[in-house]
Structure 1
Amino acid sequence: MLTINLLKANTSKHIVISTIVRNGHTIRGKRPGVARSLAQRLADDERNENTVLLPRVNIGFACKTPSRKEVRQSRIEHLKKQKQNQDLERLSRSNSLSINLDAVRKESNFTAAPFQLKTIADHYGIYKDLFGNAYFIPRINMDIFFTDENKNNHSIFYGNVLSASCTVNEPNITFDHNKNLLIKNFDSSETSYWSILMVSPDTHLFSGKNENFLNWFIGNIPNGGIKNGEEICKYLQPIPAKGFGFQRNVFILFRQSKLIDFQKFKNKSFNDLLDRHFNVLEFYREHQENITPAGLSFFQSEWDESVTKIFNKLNIKEPSFTYDFPRPYLADQKWFPLKQPFNLYMDKHRADHKKINKNYLNKYLFKDIDVPIKYPMAHPIKGVPSWMIAEIKKERLKLFQKMDKS
């Protein structure tokens, strides 16, 4: 907007003249070649219209949630007891009050932690890739840690990252097998049986199918004793491919209603990686009358040299992934490019890149050795374009620096 003031005798008039200034076209959003075309967008819309949305199914143990009235009443009673505790007030005033973190963790495992873990697992796509349209609330908390070759322990939480070398040895797993899961006629004195699966939803590199990869399988575990269980599939460390990124590795704890015959899986050798391709959803459908998922924990692993050793040991060629970067977008050439180095701008639009590389090699590899000037910036440069002056100054300074170092 331009404002012009026209002054007359003792009067003033303001005339507003609106002008349209076009500063050039700017690309908004993703550039051509990367952004989806109209046909792709219409195809996605048509696919979404044909998709039937089904409600998710809870295949785990029922989780009894107290009413808001009961929770509020228990909190009020707890606050009354805390306010009447004089020792607690004295410790708080003297800044010597300590909190029992084990008690807090135990309380959390019975209240909010299972639901928070379900939310985290949904965020990482664990239920979707393993159980499809089903889910469960992890009622049993598992304490899992790996011990590496240097005797260092690496704990598993919910999505933390470990290198593959930290997971070479079998993990140590403990859990509370006496926890009441609201099972009918539950008797803690009876022997309870459990199964543990360690699978990866991302390591289906060799079958070409959308399957899971079985790293470890122990079944018929009596009363939470992992060592007393039946090892169905021997342990194999996670094998994230080079360049693949982070690979998810999931521990699933099932509670069995009785002893189960897993001879079908024991017949496989599991020495071949194709034998380790596994479908968790089909496994659950086959044994859903006798198993119920009760615990969940997972971590992410990334490639290191220990993965190469595994592939060499199995005599298998190691897969490697590299990102195919798209060619950089190059706008149409202009007659007068503003605020851009002339020589670099012209090199971008030269069609023969082999000639550019040849000139570069002739310039830096096969040229005669120039004698450096003692005072390179003191000699004037005349008769050349401005962009070439900068190039000549750079060359002089490089030669001067080499002479100074020698």
Structure 2
Amino acid sequence: EPKTDISLPHKLLQAKEIKERKKILRENHQNAEVEGAAWLQTVLIPLEEARAEWEKTSGPFHKQRVAEHCGIFRALFKGATFTPWVTQRLECSQEDKHPVLVCCGNMVTVSEVPPAVSYEADKGFLWTWLLTNPGKRMDIERSKVFVFRTNSPGNAIESGKEICCYSPPFPAVGTGCHCFIFLLLQPDCPVDFSKGVWQTPCHSLKMGTFSTFDFSRKREAAVTPAGLACFQCQWGSSIT
């Protein structure tokens, strides 16, 4: 049975662009100099350029498959799927070490410092950003929210309204790895929490139970998921 696609509208690669990419690939395969460098392991690849190209082309589809495999769509949207067209860049600081980049399910240790977030988004839209954890059973009705910010204009996330202030993840001892999900949403109009059940800003973990499905489908404004990143985390000695 085909799943409901709730992705943002997006322009896919045209046949001409695909043909050009295949032409470059074919030329590289026929290039003796490139082949020799590959055999000698001396070929240099501009990783930043390669990643930027991947994020614009194949990356969103790869992230979608990872999320499907991990049960994220089932937990957050009752099985409806989407392609994360908007790229998020998230770095978690860990004491004196280099920042750890949040990718697609990589392991990240617990940190007291909130992640540094950036994304490329249209300035003409408002955006909602949250960090949630459906728990070990990936429960759709009992996700915990660890940060929630709404009505951010363009990529100015700090200009949005803070609904739930940041709380570091705290997976319980002996429960293994937990999946923490960064979700970027695009509402059709400003999100109003004045009549909600949450006291804003919300500092209570007990009040932080949240249903992404209800938020995106049962409010007056339609909310479309646009970006996705996730990491795994387990109990560590820093959790007290």
User: 1:162: which partner in 2?
Assistant: 108
Distance apart, 1:221 and its partner CA: 1.0
Give the letter for the 1:156 counterpart: V
Please report how far the alpha carbon of residue 229 of structure 1 lies from its aligned counterpart in structure 2 after TM superposition: 1.6
| Equivalences, count | 238
Residue in 1 aligned with 2:135? 202
What is residue 42 of structure 1 aligned with on the other side? Answer: none
1:232-271 alignment runs, 5 A limit = 232-263=163-194, 264=196, 266-267=198-199, 270-271=202-203
* Contiguous gaps of at least 5 residues in structure 2: none
C-alpha separation in 1, matches of 2:150 and 2:201:
17
Match of 1:59 in 2: 6
Aligned partner of 2:64 among 105, 118, 129: 118
Cα pair 2:198 2:207 within 8 Å, conserved: no
Distance 1:215 1:94, change over 3 A: closer
Of 77, 84, 96, the residue aligned with 1:150 is: 96
User: Could you say which residue in structure 1 is the equivalent of 2:211?
Assistant: 279
Between the aligned partners of 1:160 and 1:84, the Cα distance in structure 2 is: 36
1:2-401 equivalences in 2 (<5 Å): 55-66=2-13, 70=16, 73-78=19-24, 97-150=43-96, 152-164=98-110, 167-178=111-122, 191-202=124-135, 210-263=141-194, 264=196, 266-267=198-199, 270-287=202-219, 289-308=221-240
* Distance of 1:137 and 1:75 partners within structure 2: 22
Letter in 1 for 2:8: F
Q: Which amino acid aligns with 2:128?
A: S
One-letter amino acid of the structure 2 residue matched with residue 98 of structure 1: L
For 2:50 and 2:164, how far apart are their aligned partners in 1? 37
Deviation at 1:292, TM superposition (A): 1.1
- Partners in 1 of 2:134 and 2:157 — Cα distance? 23
Distance 1:213 1:94 in 2: 50
8 Å contact 2:76–2:140 — kept in the other structure? no
Distance 1:278 1:88 in 2: 52
CA distance, structure 2, for counterparts of residue 108 and residue 228 of structure 1: 29
Letter in 2 for 1:149: E
Q: Is residue 193–residue 255 contact of structure 1 (8 Å, CA) maintained in 2?
A: yes
Q: CA RMSD in A?
A: 3.2
- Give the strand-richer structure, 1 or 2: 2
Change in 2 beyond 3 A, CA 1:223/1:96: same
Write the distance in 2 (CA, Å) between the matches of 1:60 and 1:72. 22
What do residues 218-272 of structure 1 show as CA deviations (whole Å, max 9, x unaligned)? 1111121122221110111111111111011000001233322233265256444
Identity among equivalent pairs (%): 27
Equivalence for 1:326: none
CA distance, structure 2, for counterparts of residue 270 and residue 191 of structure 1? 28
Name the stretch that deviates more: 276-285 or 94-103.
94-103
Confirm or deny: 8 A CA contact 2:75 2:140 kept in the other structure: no
SS of match in other structure, 1:57 = coil
Match of 1:347 in 2: none
Deviation at 1:151, TM superposition (A): 5.5
Q: Report if the CA contact (8 A) 1:61-1:293 is conserved.
A: yes
Distance 1:197 1:147, change over 3 A: same
Contact preservation (8 Å) 1:147, 1:153: yes
The CA distance in 2 between the partners of 1:211 and 1:85, in whole Å, is 55
User: More helix per residue: 1 or 2?
Assistant: 1
Structure 1 unpaired stretches of 5+: 1-53, 179-189, 309-406
Return the alpha-carbon distance in structure 1 between the equivalents of residues 168 and 192 of structure 2.
Answer: 25
Q: Specify the code of the residue in structure 1 equivalent to 2:70.
A: Y
More moved, 73-82 vs 270-279: 73-82
| CA offsets 1:293-336 (integer angstroms, 9 cap, x no match) | 1000000111123332xxxxxxxxxxxxxxxxxxxxxxxxxxxx
| Superposition deviation, residue 100 in structure 1 | 1.6
8 Å CA contact 1:203, 1:240 repeated in 2: no
TM-score normalised by the chain length of structure 1: 0.52
Distance in 2 of aligned mates of 1:191 and 1:209: 31
